[in-house]
Structure 1
Amino acid sequence: MNRVNPAAVHSGDPDTRDIPEFRFSRMEDLLRGRALRHLMVDGVDAVFVRDPVLVRAILVSESKNYGKGELFRKARTLSRVGLFSEDEIMHRHYRRLANPYVRSTQVDEYVPDMREISNGFTSAWRAGESVDIQSEMCRITCSIVVQTLMTGLPSQTSEALSESLSRLAWEMIRKPLYGKAAARAARPGGGKRLSRARREFADLLTVCIAELLDSPETRAGYLSTLLSDSDAQGNSLLTAQEVCEEAVMMLTAATVTTASVMSWALYLVSTDPLVEKMLANDMARGLSGSAVDDHDASGYTRRFLMEVLRLYPPIWISCRQALSDVVLGDHALPAGTNLVFSSYLLHRDPERFADPSRFDPDRWLTITLGNVDASYIPFGIGSKGCIGETFAWRQLEVILESVMQKWTLEIDPDRKVRTAPETTLHPRRLLMTPQPR
């Protein structure tokens, strides 16, 4: 067993001091030429899986042999029922309940609302005044999610929920996954800002749920669906508290990832005038935000976003645990083995992607995504893959177009944008200055 901890280096930047960063380059060195390697990850014995064929086996063909891993503290979610249940039958049931709200035909109907919300926020920016892009992306994505998935609420209620959710999403994005920072946050009194933001949002949601229970004729989209879910005898399957927990997890999951990806997208546009020109041409021809297959790379906007997701997958590391003795490839592993894999590393595998660290949207003109491995999994794959993938694609396209129609974003060339591998893979701090297009 190699007791190597790949995680803890400390930045000299005063804003990031005492924040451990995952050393991707060191991991690449440790895993080079190895399909699997035993490592210490977050103080726990684990097997790191680099081979995308074996990762696909874990997630798809042999998924029944693997359960949710508890290696990282972020995996200890609020909700243990509904969509986030480890029980496969329950998971599938709540996946079916959520599906009508995120399937392609329904998402296409959301696009006008997505556009109106995005335009409302971006129109409020002022030329020459610095914008905290990640905070703004949280506000936009949270407003979209609340107003599309929780329809029928009074406008004041929707606005209050959206703003509260955006504060929670921003704290969730920055939550440490591992190491001393995560340990401190897990202690009583630790992670005060996150706890406060979660409590504030849950309190608002609890009031909303109580009002819906008092007025069963009122419909509020996904929230009402959870409240009305019952067994054959008409008994509610979830308590009001469980509905609240389920909604908190669903809504934060639907926003923290998209906000992080959108932040990277706007940063990358600002660094390359040719990319900006290609995107503007695409939008002028009406090719962005169109209802196409989620992996259709015919339009430049889609290729651009696919490449952003390749280099900066928001869920950058995952863990599964063997439920019984298993054989993974040629490797026999005992029950209880923690298996860790990183989409960040899979997406930068030089055997799958030429010059993997280079940002090149046009690489997707020649790459065909097959069903043989997990070399590109920004939304996961298999039965537990992201149910909101189509919703996320539309949000990304609509927000990108909304920003680019009005603004050119500039970043201080002397300020280095650092990668922060926390709950999501996000820019450490991203302040940009909008100038009229």
Structure 2
Amino acid sequence: MSEQGSPVFQFSRMESLLRGRRLRRLTVDGVDAVFVRDPVLVRRILVSESRNYGKGELFRKARNLSRVGMLSEDEAMHRHYRRLANPFLRSTKVDAYVPTMRDIVRDVVSSWRVGDAVDIQAEMCRITCAISVSTLIPGLSPRMTDALSERLSCLAWEMIRKPLYGRSAARAARPGASKRLSQARKEFRDLLAECIAGLPDDPDSAGGYLSVLLMDCDDEGNRLLTPEQVCEEAVMMMTAATVTTASVMSWALYVLSGNPLVEERLLKDLMRRGSAAQGLDTSSYTLRFLMEVLRLYPPVWISCRKTLVDVTLGDHSLPAGTNVVFSSYLLHRDPDCYPDPQRFDPDRWLSLNPGKVDASYIPFGIGSKGCVGEMFAWQELQAILDVVTQEWKLGTEPDHHIRTAPETTLHPRRLLMVPRPR
């Protein structure tokens, strides 16, 4: 990002270009845009004036997965399919998923061997994908559940590493360039289509979220989605539910490996809380730890909207059709909102309560387009963290530097960790 459209994406360069400015016109990935750094203005875009903004032209790979349902340009359709997903993601339902989540994590981490390096992000993909399939599509045979989980894990792993920006993204977008991603997507969709074809005509039957999508009808009883579209929507939903959580959990385990005092406090808090689901307990050190991980490493690190009408944002008049870009990575590291912003400090959340008047903390987004699975993600993160840390102490090789990869998600590039028993 630069005024000349440099293909190299560097967070330090972003900060330099935007320092002291609420808005700045830049060329982002070859497209003219206005970059917004002010959290109050970002909240206006996402909440109070959201009707004036639609999806932008940048960073829209998710739309390769689905053009119907929740990713539709039609606002009424978007809201409708959010409502269909909500029964599977509300707090009481998610609480009931926790034992299943914990069993899945135990099953995966029990395969680790003392002293053998583990590719943590690939393993987190295995865990989150198995959780997604088991909870959102109940009633499948164990064989089908395992097969779907494995294929979804392959797809999620390829999606996480797909370039989002610059020349690498342009090359990856060419027909036939992303062969592994295309193959992983096809294999998961083909198996998902088998599941959909085998569902009985009963929305209350086994199949959960898939059955609800398949049986969705208009007032005349006509089905709104074809089986193909149900498949597309489910692929989008389940991929989104896994790639972000896998990246966040990878960062969480990496942070613990380098902060023994933080790890000690976390283990004591997890022991005190036990295995019961306790929701978003703001007095919990575990929650504060995860909030701090999400502050420093938000998986959805950059977003784009497009003005649908002429708007005034701050002191700037923006005509309809303007791409407006903002970065949760930068918002979360704003020294005006977070003193010593680069320091990992879970206890900062004892006195902070962001998001009421601005967008200084938006790991799940905010407003009508905020993440529909936020409560699911919080419980999943806590369940994974609890089980993994009970079983293993993870460490990296001495002097091994982990690079930050701003791709589809903000993830650690090649995070190998060595497990030792507790």
Q: Same fold judged by TM-score > 0.5?
A: yes
- Name the CA shift for 1:289/1:266 in 2 (closer, same or farther; >3 Å): farther
Check conservation: 2:98, 2:277, Cα contact below 8 A.
Answer: no
- Name the CA shift for 1:288/1:52 in 2 (closer, same or farther; >3 Å): farther
Residues 76-97 of structure 1 deviation map (CA, whole Å, 9 limit, x = unaligned): 3321111111211111111111
Give the residue type in structure 1 aligned to 2:123: E
Residues 43-91 of structure 1 deviation map (CA, whole Å, 9 limit, x = unaligned): 0000000000000000000000000112125253321111111211111
Matched, 1:399 2:384: yes
Counterpart residue number, 1:88: 75
Counterpart residue number, 1:77: 64
Give the residue type in structure 2 aligned to 1:378: P
Question: d(CA) in 2 for partners of 1:274 and 1:265?
Answer: 14
Matched, 1:238 2:225: yes
Check conservation: 1:258, 1:396, Cα contact below 8 A.
Answer: yes
TM-score normalised by length of structure 2: 0.97
Counterpart residue number, 2:23: 36
The percentage of counterpart residues that share the same residue type is: 69
Residues 193-251 of structure 1 deviation map (CA, whole Å, 9 limit, x = unaligned): 11110011011111111111588884210000000101111111001110000000000
- Name the CA shift for 1:7/1:342 in 2 (closer, same or farther; >3 Å): farther
Matched, 1:259 2:246: yes
SS at the partner of 1:368? coil
Check conservation: 1:417, 1:427, Cα contact below 8 A.
Answer: yes
Q: 2:32 aligns with which of 25, 42, 45?
A: 45
Give the residue type in structure 2 aligned to 1:8: P
Check conservation: 2:5, 2:30, Cα contact below 8 A.
Answer: no
Counterpart residue number, 1:103: 90
Query: How do 1:176-325 and structure 2 match up within 5 A?
Result: 176-212=163-199, 218-286=205-273, 290-293=277-280, 296-325=281-310
Check conservation: 1:102, 1:388, Cα contact below 8 A.
Answer: yes
Counterpart residue number, 1:8: 7
Residues 402-423 of structure 1 deviation map (CA, whole Å, 9 limit, x = unaligned): 1110100010122210000000
Question: d(CA) in 2 for partners of 1:363 and 1:73?
Answer: 33
TM-score normalised by length of structure 1: 0.94
- Name the CA shift for 1:5/1:198 in 2 (closer, same or farther; >3 Å): farther
Q: 1:163 aligns with which of 150, 156, 163?
A: 150
Question: d(CA) in 2 for partners of 1:151 and 1:273?
Answer: 39
Check conservation: 2:355, 2:361, Cα contact below 8 A.
Answer: no
- Name the CA shift for 1:408/1:52 in 2 (closer, same or farther; >3 Å): same
Residues 334-358 of structure 1 deviation map (CA, whole Å, 9 limit, x = unaligned): 0100000000000000000000011
SS at the partner of 1:76? helix
- Name the CA shift for 1:3/1:120 in 2 (closer, same or farther; >3 Å): closer
Residues 263-307 of structure 1 deviation map (CA, whole Å, 9 limit, x = unaligned): 0000000001101100110011126763233xx431110000000
Question: d(CA) in 2 for partners of 1:77 and 1:200?
Answer: 16
Check conservation: 1:289, 1:394, Cα contact below 8 A.
Answer: no
- Name the CA shift for 1:229/1:408 in 2 (closer, same or farther; >3 Å): same
Question: d(CA) in 1 for partners of 2:204 and 2:42?
Answer: 46
Q: 1:328 aligns with which of 304, 310, 313?
A: 313
Provide the aligned length of Structure 1 versus Structure 2: 422
Counterpart residue number, 1:14: none
For the aligned residues, what is the CA RMSD? 1.6
Instruction: Quote how far apart the aligned CAs of 1:371 are.
Output: 1.6
Counterpart residue number, 1:153: 140
SS at the partner of 2:26? strand
Residues 373-408 of structure 1 deviation map (CA, whole Å, 9 limit, x = unaligned): 000000000001001000000110000111110100
